[in-house]
Amino acid sequence: MGGGNLVRRARERSRRGSARPGEPWGRLFRGRVLLPKLRCFLTLPRLAACPLGCASAALVPRYLVSEKMTEELDHTGQDSDADSEEVVLTPAELIEKLEQAWMNEKFAPELLESKSEIVECVMEQLDHMEENLRRAKKGDLKVSIHRMEMERIRYVLSSYLRCRLMKIEKFFPHILEKEKTPREGELSSLSPEELIFAKQYMANTETYLKNVALKHMPPNLQVVDLLRSAVPKPDLDSYVFLRVKERQENILVEPETDEQRDYVIDLEEGSQHLIRYKTIAPLVASGAVQLI
């Protein structure tokens, strides 16, 4: 009888699959339940009821406040606090934004907008998690799982920043040229630190080339125009895969060869396409499509 009950309970548990919200951590690791994706843990509402102690509650910073960047409409020196919007993001949403920015940056041929607010928030999160982990009990299984998640987040963040640095170094004359001309309503594609890095890189390379070779060349050849001749431009005509997040209508596709004419297409939500980057560049910036 008892044996039958046990068997029934075990079968019930395994049929349920992943843990229900509010279920204490303790039950997750006994029986054959699937471990849900770690991200969801961060937003489970009733973790505070965990019988394993308040260490787990302290491990979960629940909400993050990040300020959206606003455009400077007037410079009358007024306190702009009232104008700036505050967007409340849960940690799960923040990580998802980071992953989206990461994938977009990886597959786009040119340098995209700088998402420094996401970077800052993620760094803050990582510091917070590190602090909490240090206070938690040693040898607890949760500690190693959270640490693993921290490693993964750190990898995504590092990869994103590395990708941006590589693009900056590859196309530095064109990027710096674009920064010089003031544009209306467009956000800068370089954060202030990246701008400093790019300028130093340019100065470094120019000084090197001048001292080693150009100084010794005939006077009319001493200036090499890096912008036009030496460093190639980003290839905006390369093809990219994308998934449509918001329905778009009337996208004008320009012809590649002279025989074709331009035509207009509609992008359905959820559909996936292979298209030239130049056509959909503004949609990537606005977040309407996701590069895959």
Q: Which residues contact other proteins by CB under 8 A?
A: 119-120, 123-124, 127, 144, 147-148, 151-152, 154-155, 157-159, 161-162, 165, 169, 193-194, 196-197, 200-201, 204-205, 208-209, 211-214, 216-218, 221, 224, 229-230
Report the residue number, 229 or 250, with the smaller CB distance to other proteins.
229
Report the residue number, 121 or 240, with the smaller CB distance to other proteins.
121
112: closest CA among 172, 190, 170, 171? 190
Report the residue number, 156 or 251, with the smaller CB distance to other proteins.
156
Report the residue number, 123 or 292, with the smaller CB distance to other proteins.
123
Q: Dmax of the chain from CA atoms?
A: 100
* Cβ proximity of 248 and 267 under 8 Å: yes
* Cβ proximity of 240 and 212 under 8 Å: no
Dihedral pair phi/psi, residue 87, rounded to 5°: -105, 125
CB 17, min distance to other proteins, A = 25
Report the residue number, 172 or 277, with the smaller CB distance to other proteins.
172
Which residues, including other chains, have CB under 8 Å from residue 259's CB and lie 6 or more apart? none
* Cβ proximity of 292 and 107 under 8 Å: yes
Q: Where are the extended beta strands (E) located within 10-143?
A: 64-67, 86-89
CB 96, min distance to other proteins, A = 17
CB 161, min distance to other proteins, A = 5
Unique residue bearing structure tokens 């040898």 = 139
CB 124, min distance to other proteins, A = 7
Measure the CA–CA gap between 267 and 264, rounded to whole angstroms.
Answer: 10
CB 209, min distance to other proteins, A = 6
